[in-house]
Amino acid sequence: MAQTSLLQGKRFYCREWVFHKIQHCLQEKTSNLSAPGTTEPLNPVSGAGKGGSWGVLLVGGPGSGKTALCTELLWPSSVHGVHRGLHQHCLGFHFCRAEDSDTLCVSGLVRGLVSQIRRSGLVPEYEEKVREPAVQSALQPGEIERNPAETFKRCVLLPLLGCKAPSQALFVLVDSVDEGCLTGDRDQRSANIAELLAAHHELFPPWLLLICSARRQNKHITKLFTGVVVCVCVCESVEIRLDEFLRPAAGNQQQMCEYF
């Protein structure tokens, strides 16, 4: 799993409006946290409740910049991106890579999220809950592979639901979820990462936003997430008056970078 920016020092331009959309979804969830009675640990059967949008699905064609955008979200390369501060709300992330079969396995996702959530310190109570015998038993070698869906619930979602909500909404990012749909044993209880996430959306805490990316052409993915996520096309056309950019004015170059 990637631990540093996949852009490898390259500067990231464009899609500023996508970051604004993600920021809006996080703010929406944070606003709901301030409502009476939302600071206590949640009943697992209540699911995502009234916490706004459950997730955001970033879609676009091959080479449209989905992975680059996800990378910039986690490791901002610009001063503006750092000031935006979205990376500080990341509870965990996972990059599915077609050339790396380990990243397409549900077990890899679960292990990675457990480790990252513990290290993040953003949900302090999670560490204590993960140490409980039932959770430790589910994390034993072989257990995740035997029943990844149950392990995802017992080791990630249910412990988070039992924790006090943080003061601000957080997000989990999974890039290229459609890659996992190309492989997988259909006899498994959860055939791939995308189906696992979609099948358990009701158990996500209302303060946790799921951000995924996938190819726009993958109808299976869009069908899985229809009705439970906000769909954002990263290559959405924007009507722009070029003469506005051609006029001599300070900041025009930065303005162009934000549009494209």
Tens of pLDDT, residue by residue over 1-46, are: 345 545 455 555 557 888 999 999 999 999 988 765 544 454 444 4
Phi, psi of 240, rounded to the nearest 5 degrees: -130, 140
pLDDT at 93: 98
Domain 16-28+45-259 belongs to what architecture? Answer: 3-Layer(aba) Sandwich (3.40)
| Residue 190 pLDDT level (bands cut at 50, 70, 90) | very low
For 157-222, the DSSP string reads IHHHHTSPPPSS-EEEEEE-GGGGGGS--TTSSS-SHHHHHHHTGGGS-TTEEEEEEEETT-HHHH
pTM: 0.80
How many residues in total does the chain contain? 260
pLDDT at 103: 93
Tens of pLDDT, residue by residue over 71-99, are: 999 998 877 778 789 999 999 999 999 89
| Angle between helices 16-33 and 252-259 in degrees, nearest 10 | 70
